[in-house]
């Protein structure tokens, strides 16, 4: 349950879904020279998500759940950190016109790498790691918690970005992704191709 709850928190607080829902605002507040209309940003986000989900289906049974989650959370940490550095440089008044393409690249990497792992794998792990006798309750609880986290993220993080600045909220997401990376690395077992009895034995060790 602790593993599943932590993965649900990582799913929402990695910043991936915040950036998907507020794509136009993210570009505007980052000071990017690229103007992205709302209609275009929706198409771009949807296309990147579609490609990310397809890549996830190709890799999930080849390299495993834990490796995908690690790659995704590390990628999110790096992407958010670079994006935050760009926004902080903008706020300090540095001339970053030569790097005007950077927000779009960071945004695309964050959405893609988030969809490949952190956006999808928590639900796969949830289905595999929970004992059958409590699976109904545990799944319902974790999904309700996930939507509660989603509500907090989408409702209050936009206000928080005004207080902290875009660079501040992006660094918050980067720190959450880094914590998620360490948690997955140290606490989560690999569940690929294993029965529940094998997973349980690994966790007992």
Domain assignment of residue 20, yes or no: no
Q: What is the pLDDT of residue 27?
A: 66
Distance of CA 91 to CAs 24, 87, 165, 168, Å?
Answer: 18, 6, 9, 11
**pLDDT per residue as tens digits for the range 92-124:** 888 777 887 788 888 888 989 998 989 889 998
48: domain CATH number is 1.20.1250.20
- The neighbour count for residue 173, using CB atoms within 10 Å, is 26
Instruction: Provide the number of structural domains found in the chain.
Output: 1
Domain assignment of residue 13, yes or no: no
Domain assignment of residue 18, yes or no: no
Is the pLDDT at 34 greater than 70? The verdict is no
Q: What is the pLDDT of residue 102?
A: 83
The token duo for 104 is 């779009």
Domain assignment of residue 77, yes or no: yes
Binned at pLDDT 50, 70 and 90, residue 35 comes out as low
What's the average model confidence in pLDDT over 17-29?
73
Domain assignment of residue 9, yes or no: no
Is the pLDDT at 33 greater than 60? The verdict is no
Domain assignment of residue 30, yes or no: no
Is the pLDDT at 40 greater than 90? The verdict is no
For residue 154, what are the domain limits?
36-204
Range of lowest pLDDT (38-47, 54-63, 158-167, 196-205) = 38-47
- The neighbour count for residue 146, using CB atoms within 10 Å, is 20
> Are 116 and 56 contacting, i.e. CB atoms less than 8 angstroms apart?
yes
Distance of CA 8 to CAs 92, 95, 129, 159, Å?
Answer: 35, 39, 14, 22
Domain assignment of residue 81, yes or no: yes
Is the pLDDT at 31 greater than 60? The verdict is no
> What values do phi and psi take at 70, rounded to 5?
-65, -45
DSSP state of 37: -
**Cβ neighbours of residue 29 under 8 Å, at least 6 residues apart?**
87, 161, 166
Domain assignment of residue 24, yes or no: no
């Amino acid at each position: 349950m602790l593993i599943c709850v932590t993965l649900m928190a990582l799913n929402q607080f990695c910043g991936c879904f915040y950036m998907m829902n507020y794509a136009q605002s993210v570009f505007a507040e980052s000071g990017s020279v690229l103007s992205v209309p709302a209609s275009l940003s929706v198409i771009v986000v949807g296309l990147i998500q579609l490609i990310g989900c397809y890549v996830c289906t190709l890799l999930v049974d080849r390299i495993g759940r834990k490796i995908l989650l690690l790659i995704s959370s590390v990628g999110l940490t790096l992407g958010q950190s670079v994006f935050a550095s760009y926004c902080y440089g903008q706020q300090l008044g540095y001339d970053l016109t030569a790097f005007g393409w950077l927000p779009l690249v960071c945004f695309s990497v964050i959405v893609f790498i988030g969809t490949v792992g952190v956006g999808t794998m928590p639900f796969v792990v949830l289905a595999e790691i929970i004992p059958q006798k409590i699976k109904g309750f545990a799944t319902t609880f974790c999904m309700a918690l996930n939507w509660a986290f989603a509500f907090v993220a989408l409702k209050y993080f936009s206000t928080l970005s005004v207080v902290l600045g875009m660079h501040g909220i992006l660094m918050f997401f980067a720190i959450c992704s880094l914590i998620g990376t360490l948690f997955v690395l140290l606490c989560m077992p690999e569940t690929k191709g294993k029965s529940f009895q094998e997973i349980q034995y690994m966790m007992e060790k």
